[in-house]
C-alpha cells in the first residue's frame, strides 16, 4: 500500500507523452486555491486533494496547462485530455473520470499505481485518507458542488457496444468524452454486445453469445427487459413510431439461418419469425424512413431479402453476383436509395428503392462496414475494416464518386458508424482487437487493448477527436 501513496498526481499524465514533468517541490497544503464553491467539486476536501497536489505551477494550471489538462476545477477535470500523446497521435484525448465507474476511471488506476508510464509524478505523496476520499467521491458519481452527477444531460449521447467486455460505453456528445458505462453481462462467459439502437426513453442492445435483445432505460441505465432465444442476435432496425424492432443474425453465424425477428417493443415479445426461402446469414438491414419496407442483406447467399413491414411478410429477393457478400445496408433519408456495403467485392452498391434495381456500384476500400448518410443525402460515410479508413462517397446529380478516404493513426479495424442529427459529426468505432493495432499511451495493468472512437468533422472530413472506450468497439448509434 505504501507505493500507492506516490502516484496520485500521475493523473495529470493522462494526456501526455514525455512532456516536462510537474514540479517535485513539496505541495501547498493551504486552501488558498479553493473558492467558496469548492472549485466545483462536491466537497472542499476533495478539491484540496486534487487542486493542491496537481494544479500547481508548471503542472496542470494556468493558461497553458501541461498536455492541455487543467485540474484546477471540476469542470476542467471533466473535460479530460486533448493531447494524450503530445501530438504523436493527433487529437488524442479522453476522459479522466467516469462517474460511478471506479475501475474504468484513469484517476483511480493512477492512484493504485496500475498505469504505465507513471513518471514524472512519483514524488507526490498522498495519505491513505486522501486516497479513500477520492475513491469515495468517484464511487458516488464524482458529483459537483451542487450534488449533481456530471455529464449526464448533453444535447445528445452516443451509445457504443464493447463486444469483448460486455459493456456499452455512453459518450457525452457535447464534451465528447465517455460519461457512463452500462454492464450487459449475463454469464461468466462473454455475452458479446454487438449492435445498439435508440428510440425515445430507451436504447436496445443485441447480445450475440447470449441470444438476447435488451431494452435499457436511458435515465437509470438499467436493463428493463430482455427477449430471449434470438440465436446469434445481430443488427437492429426500429420503426419510426417506435412500436416494433427487427433483429437479424450476427455476421459470425454459420450459414444456417433463414429468418429475422420482429419484436413488439412495448411488451418486449416476439411478434413473428420472418422466414426467407433459403438459409444463409441474414445480417445487415436497411429500413425505409417511412417504415414500409425492410431490406435484409444475406451475407452468404449474395442477395437482399425484402420484407413488407405492415404484415412482416417476405416479398422478394434482389439477386447479386456470386461473391458480393452484402455486409451492411442503409436507406437514404429521402427513401429513394438503398446502399449496401459489399464485403466480398469492396464496393458500395446503390439501388433504386422504387424498382429495387441496382443503379451503380462504387469501388471503395476493402471490407466496407456500417453506413451513415447526411440528411441531404449528399455524403455517405462508412469504415473499411481491412484498411482502417473511413470512405466518403459523394452523391450529386445522380452520380456517386468516392471523394475521400479519411485515415488516422489510431484507427484499427473499423466497425460502427453513425452521424449526428445536425450532420456536423460522424462517429466511427474501432475494434482494435488484432496484434499491431492501436496501443494506448497509458496502459492499465491487466487490461486488453481498448476499442476507440474517432470523431470526424463533416465540414473538413478530418478526425477532430480520438478517444478510448472499452474492449472491441462494435456497433454504435448517435442519439437523434
pTM above 0.85, yes or no: yes
Q: Is 428 helix (H, G, I), strand (E, B) or coil?
A: strand
Confidence of residue 418 (pLDDT cuts 50, 70, 90): very high
Least confident of 49-53, 247-251, 391-395: 49-53
Confidence of residue 315 (pLDDT cuts 50, 70, 90): very high
Q: What is the DSSP string of 378-424?
A: -EEEEEETTTTEEEEEEEETTEEEEEEEE--TT--SEEEEEE-TTSS
Residue 469 CA: distances (Å) to CA of 86, 135, 192, 220, 473: 20, 21, 15, 21, 7
Parse the chain into domains and list their residue ranges: 2-139, 158-478
What integer pLDDT is reported at residue 125 of this predicted model?
Answer: 76
Show the cell assigned to 361.
456500384
Tens digit of pLDDT for each residue in 41-76? Answer: 999 999 999 998 877 767 777 777 766 778 899 999
Contact (CB, 8 A) for 222 and 200: no
Chain CA centroid to CA 443, Å: 20
Least confident of 82-96, 306-320, 348-362, 421-435: 82-96
Q: Please state whether 289 falls in left (phi above 0), alpha (psi between -120 and 50) or beta.
A: alpha
Show the cell assigned to 216.
435499457
Least confident of 10-14, 112-116, 149-153, 476-480: 10-14
Cis peptide before 117 (omega within 30 of 0): yes
Cell numbers 469492396: residue: 346
Show the cell assigned to 15.
494526456
Provide the β-strand partners of residue 341.
328, 348
Q: What percent of the chain is predicted at pLDDT more than 90?
A: 81
Tens digit of pLDDT for each residue in 421-445? Answer: 999 999 999 999 988 999 999 999 9
Tens digit of pLDDT for each residue in 105-122? Answer: 998 898 888 888 866 556
Task: Name the CATH superfamily housing domain 158-478.
Answer: YVTN repeat-like/Quinoprotein amine dehydrogenase (2.130.10.10)
Amino acid at each position: 500500500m505504501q507505493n500507492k501513496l506516490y502516484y496520485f498526481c500521475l493523473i495529470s499524465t493522462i494526456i501526455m507523452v514525455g512532456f516536462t514533468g510537474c514540479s517535485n517541490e513539496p505541495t501547498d497544503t493551504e486552501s488558498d486555491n479553493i473558492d467558496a464553491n469548492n472549485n466545483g467539486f462536491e466537497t472542499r476536501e476533495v478539491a484540496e486533494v486534487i487542486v493542491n497536489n496537481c494544479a500547481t505551477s508548471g503542472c496542470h494550471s494556468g493558461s497553458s496547462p501541461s498536455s492541455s489538462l487543467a485540474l484546477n476545477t471540476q469542470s476542467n477535470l471533466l473535460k479530460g485530455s486533448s493531447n494524450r500523446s503530445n501530438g504523436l497521435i493527433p487529437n488524442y484525448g479522453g476522459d479522466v473520470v467516469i462517474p460511478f465507474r471506479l475501475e474504468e476511471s484513469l484517476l483511480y488506476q493512477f492512484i493504485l499505481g496500475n498505469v504505465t508510464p507513471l513518471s514524472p509524478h512519483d514524488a507526490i505523496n498522498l495519505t491513505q485518507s486522501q486516497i479513500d476520499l477520492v475513491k469515495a467521491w468517484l464511487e458516488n458519481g464524482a458529483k459537483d458542488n451542487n450534488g449533481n452527477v456530471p455529464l449526464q444531460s448533453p444535447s445528445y449521447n452516443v451509445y457504443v457496444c464493447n463486444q469483448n467486455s460486455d459493456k456499452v460505453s455512453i459518450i457525452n456528445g457535447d464534451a465528447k468524452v465517455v460519461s457512463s458505462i452500462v454492464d450487459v453481462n449475463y454469464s461468466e462467459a462473454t455475452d458479446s454486445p454487438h449492435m445498439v439502437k435508440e428510440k425515445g426513453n430507451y436504447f436496445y442492445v443485441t447480445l450475440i453469445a447470449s441470444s438476447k435483445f435488451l431494452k435499457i432505460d436511458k435515465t437509470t441505465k438499467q436493463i428493463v427487459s430482455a427477449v430471449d432465444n434470438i440465436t446469434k442476435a445481430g443488427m437492429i432496425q426500429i420503426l419510426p413510431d417506435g412500436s416494433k424492432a427487427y433483429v437479424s443474425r450476427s455476421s459470425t453465424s454459420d450459414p444456417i439461418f433463414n429468418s429475422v425477428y420482429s419484436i413488439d417493443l412495448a411488451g418486449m415479445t416476439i411478434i413473428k419469425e420472418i422466414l426467407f426461402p433459403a438459409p444463409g446469414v441474414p445480417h445487415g438491414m436497411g429500413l425505409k424512413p417511412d417504415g414500409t419496407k425492410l431490406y435484409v442483406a444475406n451475407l452468404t447467399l449474395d442477395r437482399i431479402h425484402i420484407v413488407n413491414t405492415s404484415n412482416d411478410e417476405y416479398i422478394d429477393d434482389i439477386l447479386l453476383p456470386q461473391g458480393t457478400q452484402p455486409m451492411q445496408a442503409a436507406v437514404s433519408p429521402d427513401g429513394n436509395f438503398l446502399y449496401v456495403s459489399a464485403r466480398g467485392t469492396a464496393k458500395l452498391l446503390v439501388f433504386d428503392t422504387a424498382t429495387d434495381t441496382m443503379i451503380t456500384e462504387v469501388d471503395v476500400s476493402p471490407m466496407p462496414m456500417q453506413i451513415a448518410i447526411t440528411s441531404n443525402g449528399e455524403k455517405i460515410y462508412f469504415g473499411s475494416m481491412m484498411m482502417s479508413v473511413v470512405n466518403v462517397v459523394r452523391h450529386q446529380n445522380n452520380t456517386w464518386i468516392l471523394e475521400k478516404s479519411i485515415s488516422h493513426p489510431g484507427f484499427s479495424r473499423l466497425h460502427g458508424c453513425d452521424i449526428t442529427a445536425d450532420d456536423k459529426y460522424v462517429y466511427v468505432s474501432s475494434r482494435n482487437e488484432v496484434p499491431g493495432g492501436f496501443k494506448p499511451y497509458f496502459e492499465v495493468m491487466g487490461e486488453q487493448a481498448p476499442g476507440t472512437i474517432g470523431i470526424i468533422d463533416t465540414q473538413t472530413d478530418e478526425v477532430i477527436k480520438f478517444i478510448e472506450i472499452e474492449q472491441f468497439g462494435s456497433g454504435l448509434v448517435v442519439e437523434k
